[in-house]
Amino acid sequence: MAYFAFWNLENLFAPQDHPDREPWLARRIANDLTGWTADLLDIKLSQLTDVIAAMNDGQGPDVLGVCEVENRTVLELLVAKVNTATGRQYGIAHADSQRDRRGIDTAFLYDSAIFEVPAATLFSYFVVRRTGTRDITQITLKSRATGKDIVAYANHWPSRSGGEIQSAGFRAVAGETLAYWHERVREELGADTPIIAMGDFNDEPWSPSVAFNANTSRERGDIERSLSAKLYNLAWQSLNREVTDHRGDSRTLDGTLYYGGNGNLFDQILVNRSLLNGERGFQMQDDSMTVFAYPAMVDHRVSNGPIRFGLPKGEPEENINTAGFSDHFPVSVIINEI
């Protein structure tokens, strides 16, 4: 049994004076990071670690896809804390993006005792828009026990900044990019290759970019019978779940990200026919998709969304909540090796 999860870590940047930051990036994000000290970063990392270590019934995830990380430096700092908290040894699969206007990447953490990631299987695809880009990272996870492979994607699609409709075309391109590489994997590795795509899609499961461009469906039977490159969207299973907030009160969850008090189901997990039918060594466990609403993260006020950590923007006392975590809940699913 392998526990796969994805989490948008919300602006996981190195400190304000990080020496290896690209000059162009230092200029672009200078205002946001004014007052972002090594001590604040350490608190943020500890908060993230508490959530990650609580996943999988307190054992930590076997595979964790992440986004909104600046560079490998912050990933290594995070992994050091997570390794200590879980007793595991996580590897990092990361390709540095030099193109995003805010310098944020996607990556994977994986238990190196369970999986290996051959270097030649790491790819990063840049989804370009006029004001920047986002990337999709692809890896092949090879089981150390059996040598069987599963292909995984970490997605972070272009945001809705500028307006949902005005920016929709950029996410449509991201959906087409994912669908295109899904096709290429089927051609190169076989149509029965197990594939899982996780990420912050910045669109809903029913949005055209996800449903049409990425070629997904909520109908499991359609995917089980399909001979084409289609993906089953597990996010539909996570609507209207009961969660417990940090006060111990039970609440209904209707999103992974909240804006203006409304829930958005932007964080999703997609699987192909092979993972549904167990065609080549891996099979999704039925009804195991969940939004991991760690009780300490759940706000009890206007909405039931996650308590964010924030960035200082020159005024850390007002803009940072050291009791916060991220503005997204993680999502997870169990994949069994058969």
How far apart, in whole angstroms, are the C-alpha atoms of residue 248 and residue 269? 28
Q: What is the CA radius of gyration of the chain?
A: 19
Q: What is the structure's pLDDT at 246?
A: 64
SS3 content of the chain, % helix, strand, coil (to 5): 30, 30, 40
Q: What is the structure's pLDDT at 154?
A: 97
Q: What is the structure's pLDDT at 304?
A: 74
Q: Which CATH number is 254's domain given?
A: 3.60.10.10
Instruction: Output phi, psi for 257, to 5 deg.
Output: -140, 140
How far apart, in whole angstroms, are the C-alpha atoms of residue 170 and residue 108? 24
**Vertex 258, ends 255 and 261: CA angle to 5°?**
110
**Vertex 282, ends 115 and 289: CA angle to 5°?**
95
Pair of tokens at residue 103? 């310098």
Query: What's the whole-model pTM score?
Result: 0.94
Q: What is the structure's pLDDT at 245?
A: 64
Domain total of the chain:
1
Nearest CA-CA partner of 79 in 114, 107, 117: 107
Q: What is the structure's pLDDT at 135?
A: 82
87 phi-psi bin (left φ>0, alpha ψ -120 to 50, beta other): left
Q: What is the structure's pLDDT at 100?
A: 47
Domain boundaries, position 28? 2-337
Check the CA dihedral 28-199-239-336 and report its sign. Answer: negative
Which residue positions in the chain have pLDDT lower than 50? 100-101
Indicate the length of the chain as a whole number.
338
How far apart, in whole angstroms, are the C-alpha atoms of residue 52 and residue 290? 14
Contact assessment for residue 330 and residue 267, using Cβ atoms and an 8 Å cutoff:
yes
Three-state DSSP state, 333: strand
